[in-house]
Structure 1
Amino acid sequence: MSSYRIELVKHDQKQGPIIRWWLDSPISDATASLDTLTGNGLVFQGWVLQAKPADFQVYVRHGDELAVFEPDCARPDVIEIILKQKPEKHPQLSCGFRFPLPLTSADFELGVIQDDQYFPLCQGHISGPFKVLEGKGNWLFLDNDTNKSVEQFTGKQLLEAEAKQSWQLYMAKLQAYAAQFQCKHALLMAPAKEAVYTEFYPYAKGALTPVEQVLRLVPVGLNLCYPVEALQQSAKRSFRVTDTHWSPFGAMVAAVELAVSLGLVRENIEALFANDEYRRVPLIGDLGNKMFPPRSADEWLLKSFSYRKSVVSDNGLANFGRTLCLANELALVPRHLVIFGASSSYSMLDYLCRIFGRITLMHTAGNIDPGVVAELTPDYLVCQTNARYVVRAPDANYSLAAIIAEKSKDVQSAKP
């Protein structure tokens, strides 16, 4: 569950008739869950002292809404410590307030109403665990991620000589494995969202990017599938508005391009998906979930087919180490496809499992385990990575068993 950060900017203590005030809760830099912010409500607690006792109310303005509350909490501690007076029967004894309020906006204002005048005391902002870049048309993009997506796209972050050498070694190993095990191969690089929909991105593309550097390093004979143009020219939107990943339709486009790069006939592949049906559903997405309140957009999900009916086994691990095996006797090609993939591979399964009779997908982000390849002897070997990962080349001598053992141990230790 995402944690959201609370940022506060407090005004001066003296505001109109107010001589002192304090906010016990929330505090700046505190975190809160989405359930707290929108369900039970964020708790506001504090006190307000006036130069002369008078009726007042506490308000919170959030978005288009204004919530008003009466101060009804006795605060003898404030009377004793701040005013240095006896609290018994003091005219400002009930100077405290405490109330939960579900918020509808990332920005809010806390203040006091007295004699129909508004006196702001504090400005607040709710931010997600990661910054999200807002582009044109409400499109969302990654901002301060660990791969420095913005710097990559603008050309400020480029590959050093060592990284280039690592990529050359990795691609040479992939070619060698394909030759050794006599299988067709492909390196599938899922384009970044901003490379496909540059018109919505708030930054201009640099003269040279890390992806372009990798493309220049591709040796003769290596089958690299980088379907950026096909995704750009897609008849339907190929990426999700509030997510980093391609849409189901984009996954279909990528599956077609991958199959064609592996030597299959385009017309035969496209015919498999010609009658697919989609349904419109509002989805938040991994970027929309990082905002407060969470941002959603209508997306078209495939409703006429699901790869889950073809799943033979699934070890259920999260991310790295997860292994899925699929079988479909009705597939176009009765051959075995092995994928060392990343997150973008999962949405492609709805389409790939209708092309290939057997599929083994291992979540390794393109890292190759040669022992697994030797054991499975695939007809097609695909390594899938995401364009934003190219700052570090994948590992061609990866141990899937080691990562599965480590993840499984963590899962067992977490059980009661």
Structure 2
Amino acid sequence: MSDIKVLVGKEGWLFLQNDTNRVVEQNNGSLKLAVSQQEHWLNTLKTRVALLGSKNIKYYFLIAPNKESIYPEYLPDDYVITEDRLVYQLLDACRPYDLPVYYPVDVLKMYKEKYQLYPCVNTHWNGIGGFIAYDYLMNIVKKDIAVPILNWDQIIFVDEETSQDLGNKLNPAQTSIFSWGKVKQPQAQIAYDNRVINSGHVQVTVNQDTALPTAAVFHDSFIEFFLPFLMESFSTIHLFHTPSLDFDLIENIKPDVVISEMVERFLLQPPVDSLKRG
């Protein structure tokens, strides 16, 4: 099998293939969660809700859709993507337990008629996609806890020609427009950044409005294009680039809200949380 990680689709759109999460097989429905993996996910999510709830901490799990889930029309004609893929297997398993798992695929599809939400040469959503996902999640959070939500008039998008994660894998590199999201009059800033790349990255944001709720966010790289908006809704956010929750860490931070963010293709590998010691 070819080990080329870039799949060239229609009109210059690039997609991921031959990755460790086997995204092509997830999309065509041939790769599903094993029973043990599904049980692991359910036990993990139930434990998170119970333990955090016992501390009056609200929990939300946001699944960022794969690029293929939003723009299947740009995939090659012989590429199969099914509505019976792994993400829906997990959502169906969670539904009877009313677990706080959210997948904004329909919202993003609705907006794609007006905006481009994922760049041609990147697996991630851009600033516009990140803002729509932010608005989607914050309106869910607001039902439980008072948080301000930015509106479109408070945001500006700046376009840049760039190659980014998929385009960089080609020779020569392929570029496309990436729309960065910026807040016109930001009240928050990043106060701490350990500068670690990917796993182990830690950041802390602070807001001028110290009366707002606080949050801890456990995430992957999709958060980068979501964070400029999110930090305007909380007084302090502690961010950790990891899929796993550390309950001792949460106990020390004592946030009002815990958010997990994970891209759809990563669901194949259920996280192992660090439970409270002692």
Q: Same fold (TM over 0.5)?
A: yes
Corresponding residue number in structure 2 for 1:376: 253
Kindly state the Cα deviation for residue 177 of structure 1 after the two structures are TM-superposed: 2.2
1:141 aligns with 2:141: no
CA 1:307–1:241 in structure 2 vs 1: closer, same or farther (change >3 Å)? farther
2:219 to 326, 341, 355: 341
Matches of 2:33 and 2:118 in 1, distance apart? Answer: 26
2:93 to 206, 217, 222: 217
Amino acid at match of 2:149: I
Give the stretch that moved more between structures: 299-308 or 155-164.
299-308
Corresponding residue number in structure 2 for 1:150: 24
Query: Residues 173-215 of structure 1: CA distance to partner in whole angstroms, max 9, x if unpaired?
Result: 1111221221111011111000111111221223521111100
Matches of 1:180 and 1:267 in 2, distance apart? Answer: 21
Coordinate RMSD, CA, aligned: 2.5
Kindly state the Cα deviation for residue 131 of structure 1 after the two structures are TM-superposed: 2.4
1:359 to 237, 240, 253: 237
Question: Helix, strand or coil for the counterpart of 1:282?
Answer: strand
Query: Residues 288-330 of structure 1: CA distance to partner in whole angstroms, max 9, x if unpaired?
Result: 0001100000222235559796111111212111110000124
Identity of aligned residues (%): 27
Query: Residues 10-58 of structure 1: CA distance to partner in whole angstroms, max 9, x if unpaired?
Result: xxxxxxxxxxxxxxxxxxxxxxxxxxxxxxxxxxxxxxxxxxxxxxxxx
Corresponding residue number in structure 1 for 2:61: 187
Counterparts of 1:57-96 in structure 2 under 5 Å? none
* Structure of higher RCO (CA pairs closer than 8 Å, 6+ residues apart): 2
1:274 to 147, 150, 153: 153
- Aligned residue pair count: 269
CA 1:330–1:221 in structure 2 vs 1: closer, same or farther (change >3 Å)? same
Question: Helix, strand or coil for the counterpart of 1:356?
Answer: coil
Matches of 2:69 and 2:215 in 1, distance apart? Answer: 28
Counterparts of 1:273-292 in structure 2 under 5 Å? 273-292=152-171
CA 1:358–1:304 in structure 2 vs 1: closer, same or farther (change >3 Å)? closer
Matches of 2:205 and 2:186 in 1, distance apart? Answer: 8
CA 1:369–1:290 in structure 2 vs 1: closer, same or farther (change >3 Å)? same
Larger Rg: 1
Matches of 2:228 and 2:120 in 1, distance apart? Answer: 21
Matches of 1:307 and 1:316 in 2, distance apart? Answer: 22
Kindly state the Cα deviation for residue 232 of structure 1 after the two structures are TM-superposed: 1.1
- Asked if the contact 2:187–2:207 (Cα under 8 Å) also holds between the matched residues in 1, the reply is no
- Asked if the contact 1:307–1:349 (Cα under 8 Å) also holds between the matched residues in 2, the reply is no
Q: Where do 5+ consecutive residues of structure 2 fail to align?
A: none
Question: Helix, strand or coil for the counterpart of 1:382?
Answer: strand
Amino acid at match of 1:353: M
2:263 to 386, 390, 397: 386
Matches of 1:373 and 1:148 in 2, distance apart? Answer: 32
1:310 aligns with 2:186: no
Matches of 2:233 and 2:226 in 1, distance apart? Answer: 11
Question: How high is the TM-score relative to the length of structure 1?
Answer: 0.61
Question: Helix, strand or coil for the counterpart of 1:334?
Answer: coil
- Asked if the contact 1:256–1:266 (Cα under 8 Å) also holds between the matched residues in 2, the reply is no
Matches of 2:176 and 2:186 in 1, distance apart? Answer: 24
CA 1:173–1:186 in structure 2 vs 1: closer, same or farther (change >3 Å)? same
- Asked if the contact 1:260–1:266 (Cα under 8 Å) also holds between the matched residues in 2, the reply is no
Matches of 1:343 and 1:153 in 2, distance apart? Answer: 20
Kindly state the Cα deviation for residue 270 of structure 1 after the two structures are TM-superposed: 4.5
Counterparts of 1:97-116 in structure 2 under 5 Å? none
Question: How high is the TM-score relative to the length of structure 2?
Answer: 0.89
Give the stretch that moved more between structures: 308-317 or 156-165.
308-317
Question: Helix, strand or coil for the counterpart of 1:397?
Answer: coil
Matches of 2:191 and 2:147 in 1, distance apart? Answer: 29
Corresponding residue number in structure 2 for 1:98: none
Question: Helix, strand or coil for the counterpart of 2:235?
Answer: strand
CA 1:268–1:359 in structure 2 vs 1: closer, same or farther (change >3 Å)? closer
- Asked if the contact 1:191–1:226 (Cα under 8 Å) also holds between the matched residues in 2, the reply is yes
Question: Helix, strand or coil for the counterpart of 1:189?
Answer: strand
- Asked if the contact 1:306–1:350 (Cα under 8 Å) also holds between the matched residues in 2, the reply is no
More helix by share: 2
Question: Helix, strand or coil for the counterpart of 1:300?
Answer: strand
